[in-house]
Amino acid sequence: MSTENSLPLYAFEPGSLPAIRKPVDDYDSDDERPGNPRRWYHYVPLCIAVLLLLAPHPSILHVLLNYHYLTLHSTRYFLAHLLVIYTLFFLAFSSLIVCVARDPGPVPEAMPEGQQDAGGDLSLEDALLSAPPEDYTQPGKWCRICWRPKPERAHHCSQCGRCVLKMDHHCPWMGAKCIGLRTYPSFLHFLASITLLAIYVAVICIRGLNFAFRHPLAINEITPVHMLLLSFAGCAFTLIMGSFFGYHVYLVLTNQTTLEHISPFYILRYLPPLPPGRLSSPPLEHQLASRQRRAVRAAHARLCLYDVGWRRNVEQVFGMGAKQPWQVWAGRLLWGGGCYGAGTQFPRNPRAEDVLAELAAELIRLENSTD
């Protein structure tokens, strides 16, 4: 047969090749360029959050002016309350702006060579500030969606269309952005500022209501209505935002993210190699029987994989140190400060290897018992 008349085994028609998704460009600035473009409606929750922050201020000024200044004739308390309230309001807005404007954690293209892999015996500074070479062929080391390396504790956000370093959660109230390595300190700062502001407003308004009930003729009849509304709003925000802030304080002290805390099967990817069988290595969640799932949840409850003591856990988030310039502390006070370390590797709990080995043995035992 002549080679000139031979036909190819398969001919691709124009446009039949699957489109290759272009990886997300690296971020040289704080401007985020997500894989999924944002529409106007993505910013509606952010506008609602800003409106909720601004709405109480006419009533706050009315209470301060009519109660503390005109009724009590106390210029000192009037100015003190005004200063405290608007200082907390400024702090809350500054950290909100940082969460919206700053990139939560861009994933690097590749890791520097010539460094050792991370482990439990690394020092805190070495583990956070260095970036080791990784075997990205292993499960969970390479993102097959945005086509980038996937460092430790990084997650792919389907709504943003990209991976985020040490991703905590996707927050629609922060401009439909993720809370990650670079924005988590500012997010905590925002929660703390809002909680303190709500507590402060609720306390001064409840005290004003107490005065209005005891002296009904000494105060303007409209002012107690403003006090009642502000007291209710302050208590509601204290319960909601305070509970959320308390939960994140717990996460900081135990060195967990929200995704790691609510996803017990996340630790499966760190199990030691399993023998060949029905379970893959590492095993997948859908492969586990009910008893194996309970074993994983029990191990997750006993082990915080990155918990290295509450002091070092706080250092990882805020980079606390004895000798730091005043600019660093000013940034922490004004907007929560910045991240600490490269965010590509983290020291692990010294008990992690033992607990993971016990979990792997338990999964194998339960697997054999079901056969």
- On average, the pLDDT of the chain sits at 83
Cα–Cα distance measured from residue 236 to residue 56, given in angstroms and rounded to the nearest whole number: 13
Question: Which tokens go with 176?
Answer: 């439909």
pLDDT of residue 92: 97
Spatial neighbors of 143 by CB under 8 A, at least 6 apart, are 107, 149, 150, 154, 156, 163
Please give the sequence-ordered ranges of beta strands (E in DSSP) within the chain, or none if there are none: 142-143, 148-149, 155-157, 162-164, 169-171, 177-179
Q: Which residue has the higher pLDDT, 274 or 146?
A: 274
pTM > 0.85: yes or no: no
Whether the predicted pLDDT of 168 surpasses 80: yes
Pairing of the two strands 142-143 and 148-149 = antiparallel
Which amino acid belongs to residue 287?
Answer: Q
Euclidean distance between CA atoms 90 and 81, whole angstroms: 14
* pLDDT higher than 50, residue 322: yes
Q: Which of 67, 66, 68 is nearest to 77 (CA)?
A: 68
C-alpha to C-alpha distance for 154 and 313, rounded to whole angstroms:
18
> Model confidence over 105-161: pLDDT tens digits?
988 876 544 433 444 444 555 555 444 445 544 545 788 888 878 888 999 998 998
Pairwise CA distance, residues 44 & 199, whole Å: 27
Between 7 and 267, residue with greater pLDDT: 267
Q: 171 an active-site residue?
A: yes
Domain ranges within the chain, ordered by starting residue: 34-102+183-254
Q: How confident is the model over 45-66, as pLDDT tens digits?
A: 999 999 999 999 999 999 999 9
The label of the residue with tokens 């900081």 reads: 252
Under 8 Å between Cβ of 363 and 282: no
Nearest to 62 by CA among 80, 82, 88, 84: 82
Catalytic annotation, pick one of 146, 157, 160, 171? 171
Of the listed ranges 1-5, 307-311, 346-350, the least confidently predicted one is 1-5
CA distance 25 to 139: 23
Least reliable range by pLDDT among 57-71, 138-152, 160-174, 228-242: 138-152
In this structure, the strands spanning 155-157 and 162-164 are antiparallel
| Identity of the residue numbered 346 | F
Which residues are CB-contacts of 24 (< 8 A; sequence separation ≥ 6)?
Answer: 33, 34, 35, 146, 148, 161, 162
The whole-number pLDDT of residue 323 equals: 62
